Chains A and B, each alone.
Chain A
Amino acid sequence: EVQLVESGGTVVQPRGSLRLSCAASGFTFSNYWMHWVRQAPGKGLVWVAHIKSDGSETKYLDSVKGRFTISRDNAKNTLYLQLNSLRVEDTAVYYCSREDRTWYYMDVWGKGTTVTVSS
């Protein structure tokens, strides 16, 4: 079964740091571009970052550039998102997703992990 399982979400203070993980199974992880998408409470989906299958290319939402870092370990079938200098407005459910690179859509999603930034 194709599966993505996020972990690492917690409550953190403003200006704090956190690393999210996404464990992939049921498919050849190293063949796929991967994404992080977030959803603030009661709000819509917002694309955050993506990474090429081999990790050589990354791209970020403007508001997280310089604060968040997406990375992957293809030997461990795991995607990461390092979140630094966190702000209250970063509070959200963070989903990892797999990209279909032929038609540019997200064909598999995890259940999400919740990050709450609060003092």
Chain B
Amino acid sequence: SDDLTQPPSVSVSPGQTARISCSGNRMEHRYVSWYQQRPGQSPVVVIYQDTKRPSGIPERFSGSNSGDIATLTIGGTQPMDEAVYYCQAWDTTSFWVFGGGTKLTVL
């Protein structure tokens, strides 16, 4: 099995940039996606294929992937961005794996 490691929590002030990391083996060779889950709601994809934003997701959400670390960046974080964020990676070996999730707090 393969594990994706995320920090349990990240805190930022409104308007600041939040960065959430996701580390795992050979991440740059895997398809990485990021999901936002607000309390009591289903997950919603905010980034796929490392850097792509689905329609309807604000431009302040961006992604990167290099080496063994993928990163979700939220520029100009807003209170509505407070949620748990999960990375997910796919490759032909590990197939479908989720990270443990990072709770983003906007103070």
Q: Which residues of A contact B (CB under 8 A)?
A: 35, 37, 44-47, 50, 59, 62, 95, 100, 103-107, 109-112
Contact = CB atoms under 8 A, between A and B. Distances in A.
Task: Name B's interface SS.
Answer: strand
Contacts of B44: 109
A34 to B, nearest CB: 12
A103 B54 contact: no
B42 A45 contact: no
B101 to A, nearest CB: 4
B45 A95 contact: no
Interface of A: prevailing SS = strand
Contact of A45 (B54, B86, B95): B86
Nearest to B97: A47
Interface string B92-107: 0001111111000000
B35 A45 contact: yes
Interface of B: 1, 31, 33, 35, 37, 42-45, 48-49, 52, 54, 84, 86, 88, 90, 95-101
A62 B43 CA distance: 23
Contacts of B54: 107
A47 B54 CA distance: 21
B86 A109 contact: no
A59 B43 contact: no
Contacts of A109: 42-44
Given A45-B37, A106-B43, A107-B45, 13 more contacts: A44-B84, A44-B99, A45-B43, A47-B98, A50-B95, A100-B48, A103-B33, A103-B49, A105-B45, A106-B33, A107-B48, A109-B44, A110-B42
